[in-house]
Amino acid sequence: MNIGVIGTGNVGQTLAAKLSSLGHAVLIGTRNVAEKAVSTGKDGKSGFKEWLAANSNVKLATFADAAASAEIVINATHGGISVNALQLAGAKNLEGKIILDLANPLDFSHGTPPRLIPELSNINSLGEEIQKSFPLSKVVKTLNTMWCGLMINPDLVGGGDHVNYLSGNDVEAKAKVKSLLKEFGWKDENLFDLGDITGARATEAVLPIWLRVSGALKTGAFNFRIIR
């Protein structure tokens, strides 16, 4: 499948590398290709240039090009700039397509732990805002309640038995995303359909407890299981 990943940060890299290793044709989109292609790490850390060299099947592209040829577009940008990044990708390029949104509307400007962006929480959500901004696309919110290492490798903890929510207005789009999630190792019984895209209000609101627990455990390698 042709997949476009919007965002070249840690989450975007993790998703792109995994999807590529599964045999998908992956374009990873950025604002400025020329700049990103040569961006090296700071303080001796490996940068995007090195990552791209190590993942040579993934192609770097503009947001627009990454979206244009894709069947599924993954939003892996910071929640505060997601709508803008997708606008740069272009509504036309996103039309009729699935936008798999795994971002969170976090505001880091007041220190840690980050807050939720007020206009995108409680009675709204990033998932809904994206759906409203791109009414001809099919937004599926999923994977946003965990560390990216677990998104693509659920077996890393608890034999993979922990919950991943899906919210979205289009049933077929959710089915397609579910099938992609199964390629990552997600079991059907751990994929929890919350209904329409307003479910994103609930899953984005998981972040405060996720961040606090993560701070206490000093790891992101955990998730929640629903016990009945």
Q: Alpha carbon 217 to chain centroid distance?
A: 23
Q: Which range of residues in 1-9, 27-35, 39-47, 119-127 is near its own copies by CB under 8 A?
A: 119-127
91 lines the binding site for its own copies (CB under 8 A): no
Question: Which residue of 57, 122, 144, 169 would you call a contact of its own copies, by CB under 8 A?
Answer: 122
Kindly tell me which residue out of 118, 127, 149, 174 binds its own copies, with binding defined by CB under 8 A: 118
Q: Whose CA is closest to 194, among 123, 152, 140?
A: 140
Q: Is 225 in the site for its own copies (CB under 8 A)?
A: yes
Task: Decide: is 161 part of the binding site for its own copies (CB under 8 A).
Answer: yes
CB contact at 8 A, 88 and 131: no
Q: Does 201 bind its own copies (CB under 8 A)?
A: yes
Q: Does 216 bind its own copies (CB under 8 A)?
A: yes
In whole angstroms, how close is the CB of 102 to its own copies at the nearest point? 16
Site for its own copies in 47-86 (CB under 8 A): none
Task: In whole angstroms, give the CA distance from residue 92 to residue 52.
Answer: 28
Does 220 help bind its own copies (rule: CB under 8 A)? Answer: no
Number of neighbours of residue 36 by Cβ within 10 angstroms: 19
**Burial of residue 43, with CB atoms counted within 10 A of its CB: 0-12 exposed, 13-18 middle, 19 or more buried:** exposed
